[in-house]
Structure 1
Amino acid sequence: MSSVSQRPVSKRSAFRIFYILAIGSGVMRTFSVAFDVVALNTVFSNPIAFGFVSQWVSILVTFFLVLVLSIPRKVDEKKRSLGFSVDPDFGKISLLPRTPMFYILLAGIFAGISTYSYYLLVGSSDASTMLPYGQLVIIYLLLGDLFAEKDTPTVIEIQCIISIMLGVLLVGVTPGGFDIPTLLIVLVPMNLSSGLVTFYQRKTKRYEISPGLRVDSINMRLWTLLFLNITYSIFAIPTIPLEAWGLMVDTFGSAFWFMVGSSLTTFFALVMYVRALGRGTMAVVNSLSSVSVILGIPLTLIGNLFIPGAFGTIDADAFLWTIKIFGVILVMIGVIALEASDVRAIVLVRVKPQTGDILSELYDIKGIQRAAAIAGTYDYLLTIKSRSLAKTRTGILKKVQAIPEVYDVETLVIMKEHR
């Protein structure tokens, strides 16, 4: 992890960096799924066995990549690692402190369960189907926020939940109707575990090792992957048939570069995703990264033009494809509406005389995007984001007013802004 004093002032705004990270993670995720689908349709026929080999290849690739990113270099007479440009919190490969390592352990266990579910499905699906399945996690994150805040959902939140749920159901439709086992895997182990992974990754990324220095996403990825692989192996080894072990040896050379490609794209997808989590809410980050849902359909169609059947079997039934595309549209409407419905506001806070620094205490309040100490009549300026004015008042402002040092709070709702 790098020193706080080594960080340069970014030439890009925090707003732009956040969107680049969140959307970029979705693009990388699309290519990662594509590598897996192509390998299973052209080289490796057993998805669980392929996942077992692919995940252990992935940790070797990730370990080597992190070592390369740890190489020091001099920039403007300052010693920094190559990985500094990927994540400014990264210094070198290292163990994390006890508390974030515990969060990483839990994230890795749930990631192993989610990954096992993913490989159960990816062998019988194409990229355009797998990518919308993953967006169901937004519903769990949204429900988790509501339960944590003991709040009632707004109309737009209910509409988004229904839209995403219906969209995922339509994407999963087959010529024979709905595949119930597939839907159960998508609904419970795959996305419920993904939601818990996101929760613990966000807690890890927001953990302050020292004032101004947080856990870096590169070491997070390495150690999460280790615990993920151990968990996945516990589930996978008993279910891999004996003949599949010989198949692994025979096809390893042919599938190796697909595994490397999947490992690299997954690495950068998750590093960008975790960095985005450190800057925004879980639901918003997942909404922006859902660009992968849009990219899945053209990738499947164009890929099959060049390598027929490699990107999944395309059903010739025009009606079935119309239903799937309509399902993708519903998913996109749900995630975009969730993001577009947010209300932004600026809060000016005045504290009592002879009060110490409460900046970190203000920033830790859920819903506050930025917190800054200012000079003048007021002492602190907060930027908040919520899905309704009522939630802003009950969920955020009451927590600010509950801080004993706070004397006065002034709220200014942003009606229109130009960036």
Structure 2
Amino acid sequence: MKIRIRKKYLFYVLLILSAFIAAVTTSIDGIISYFYISNPWVFGVSVFLVGVFITLFLSLILSVPIGNNKSIGSVIDPSFRRIRFVKKEELKYHIMAGIGNTVSTLGYLYVVSKFVDPSAVLPFFQVVILYLLIVESLSEKDAPTLAETESSIIVTFGAIMTSISLSGEVNVMALLVIFLVMNPGWVLLAIYQRKLKLMKIGDTHNDSINIRLWNVIFTTVFMAVFVFIYNKDYFFEAINASFKFYPWLSLTMGVTFFSYVLYIRALGLGKASIAQAVKASTIIFAIPLSLLLSHYMNFSFSASPTLLVIKLMGIILVVLGVATFALTEVRAYVFINAQGDKSIKELMDEIWGIRGVVAVSALAGKHDLIAKVRIRTLGKGYERIIRRLEGIEGIEKFMWQSILKEWEEI
């Protein structure tokens, strides 16, 4: 049985599922670090050492064919067929994503290992949403709109408020590590994983399962080398812990695998900044799980009225920001007829340069070209694209058709 969902909402469904699974992963990590591996450096390396084998094992299972040139993994990502080696053209992107993941993870490990209670500063990791907005504004044709920027800022501050702790230590050095190490590292990871997902391998788009597999492999290599140089004792402790606590480490990396696969697939459907903003809803799912864990672990979930009010306001901001993303998107097809001596390729290049145009194709039949448009506001966005099309020499006429519903197999 085929399951279909409106394409407009698939992006958000994938990310919210990813956020929920990530919250479960966070809880499992909390159990491991509390009961079994207290040293964050040892935990960080051991979890990736085990993660390579678990990720490979899951990828092999998902590679089992089920007929019609499909595999089990195609249920999660229709682009997936089987695991494969890295292609030459994608190698540099995998290396950059691996470096980004390693840098961000090492920054986190440094903060939690050096400061008694970093819970007051770790929420500022959510500012990475704004980092992604800046990078996209400078480097991408389809730069974030004003509505996207406003919603991202709302989600960022909501996420900080929801996860903030009034008891933790606010340390300048910890903040510098978060702003200068963790956040830039995650930007590298998100941007290059998105580039990988948008890349075509053969006749189809790259798949999220192979991207996740190779990211874990590259990250493990970089992490192991760094920690071995930093402290050999931690490295060998991690090897020992990976055998001793294999079941728990396998569980957390197995759950993490599905969270990241859904997240990477979503990166192929929308901007990295918006994907990160929606995924910030992890903190909402984490609150009830933290309450549950507080009954079994020796920590108290603060019930201070002031803190509860702050967290409630943060949850409201996150929900409003995510809802704004989901409800303000407008999609359309523009059918174009050409005239004059300008070639179709030249016209396609000019149309592709218009902000808001996400695809251009040449047609055989009544129309010469079709452009797919994605904008946040019908008013200004529509007027801007119409004016640009009217100013292109070689276009005889065009017809705008707004998309009411668009379905995609999941």
**What TM-score do you get using the length of structure 2 for normalisation?**
0.80
Alignment of 1:100-179 (within 5 A): 100-121=90-111, 133-148=124-139, 156=147, 159-160=150-151, 162-167=153-158, 170=161, 171-175=163-167, 178-179=170-171
Q: 1:33 aligns with which of 26, 31, 35?
A: 26
Tell whether the 8 Å contact from 1:71 to 1:82 is kept in structure 2 after alignment. yes
- In structure 2, the CA distance between the partners of 1:257 and 1:59, relative to structure 1 (3 Å rule), is same
Q: 2:181 and 2:281 mapped to 1: Cα distance?
A: 23
What residue number does 1:48 align with? 41
Amino acid at match of 1:64: F
What residue number does 2:287 align with? 297
What residue number does 2:211 align with? 220
1:346 lines up with 2:332 in the alignment: yes
Deviation string 1:365-414 (CA, Å, 9 cap, x unpaired) is 764456675964574252312367545665x6687778876544445678
Tell whether the 8 Å contact from 2:29 to 2:252 is kept in structure 1 after alignment. yes
Alignment of 1:7-406 (within 5 A): 11-73=4-66, 75=67, 78-121=68-111, 133-148=124-139, 156=147, 159-160=150-151, 162-167=153-158, 170=161, 171-175=163-167, 178-211=170-203, 213-240=204-231, 242=233, 244=234, 248=238, 252=242, 255-305=245-295, 307-309=296-298, 313-315=300-302, 317-340=304-327, 342-352=328-338, 367-368=356-357, 376=366, 379-386=369-376, 389-390=379-380, 406=395
- In structure 2, the CA distance between the partners of 1:151 and 1:374, relative to structure 1 (3 Å rule), is closer
Q: CA offset at residue 80 of structure 1? A: 3.3
SS in structure 2 at match of 1:178:
coil
SS in structure 2 at match of 1:87:
coil
Q: CA offset at residue 161 of structure 1? A: 5.4
SS in structure 1 at match of 2:373:
strand
Q: Identity of paired residues, percent?
A: 26
Q: 1:375 and 1:104 mapped to 2: Cα distance?
A: 41
Tell whether the 8 Å contact from 2:121 to 2:170 is kept in structure 1 after alignment. no
Amino acid at match of 1:314: F
- In structure 2, the CA distance between the partners of 1:126 and 1:403, relative to structure 1 (3 Å rule), is farther
Tell whether the 8 Å contact from 2:94 to 2:214 is kept in structure 1 after alignment. yes
Q: 1:298 and 1:32 mapped to 2: Cα distance?
A: 14
- In structure 2, the CA distance between the partners of 1:102 and 1:89, relative to structure 1 (3 Å rule), is same
Q: 1:360 and 1:275 mapped to 2: Cα distance?
A: 27
Q: 1:279 and 1:19 mapped to 2: Cα distance?
A: 10
- In structure 2, the CA distance between the partners of 1:137 and 1:68, relative to structure 1 (3 Å rule), is same
Q: 1:300 and 1:359 mapped to 2: Cα distance?
A: 55
- In structure 2, the CA distance between the partners of 1:269 and 1:404, relative to structure 1 (3 Å rule), is farther
Amino acid at match of 2:15: A
SS in structure 2 at match of 1:205:
helix
Q: 1:193 and 1:71 mapped to 2: Cα distance?
A: 34
- Uncovered stretches (5+) of structure 1, i.e. residues with no partner: 1-7
* Deviation larger for 133-142 or 46-55: 133-142
Q: 1:120 and 1:357 mapped to 2: Cα distance?
A: 52
Q: CA offset at residue 292 of structure 1? A: 1.0
Q: CA offset at residue 294 of structure 1? A: 0.9
Q: 1:210 and 1:402 mapped to 2: Cα distance?
A: 36
Amino acid at match of 1:106: M
- In structure 2, the CA distance between the partners of 1:402 and 1:90, relative to structure 1 (3 Å rule), is farther
Q: 1:144 and 1:326 mapped to 2: Cα distance?
A: 28
Q: CA offset at residue 297 of structure 1? A: 0.9
Q: CA offset at residue 13 of structure 1? A: 3.8
Tell whether the 8 Å contact from 1:61 to 1:264 is kept in structure 2 after alignment. yes
Q: CA offset at residue 180 of structure 1? A: 3.1
Deviation string 1:52-86 (CA, Å, 9 cap, x unpaired) is 0111100111112222222334x3xx343332322
Deviation string 1:26-68 (CA, Å, 9 cap, x unpaired) is 1121112221111101111101111101111001111122222
Q: CA offset at residue 357 of structure 1? A: 7.8
SS in structure 2 at match of 1:94:
coil
Q: CA offset at residue 284 of structure 1? A: 2.8
- In structure 2, the CA distance between the partners of 1:217 and 1:153, relative to structure 1 (3 Å rule), is closer
- In structure 2, the CA distance between the partners of 1:363 and 1:49, relative to structure 1 (3 Å rule), is farther
Q: CA offset at residue 90 of structure 1? A: 1.9
Q: CA offset at residue 87 of structure 1? A: 2.1
Q: 1:131 and 1:339 mapped to 2: Cα distance?
A: 27
Amino acid at match of 1:24: L
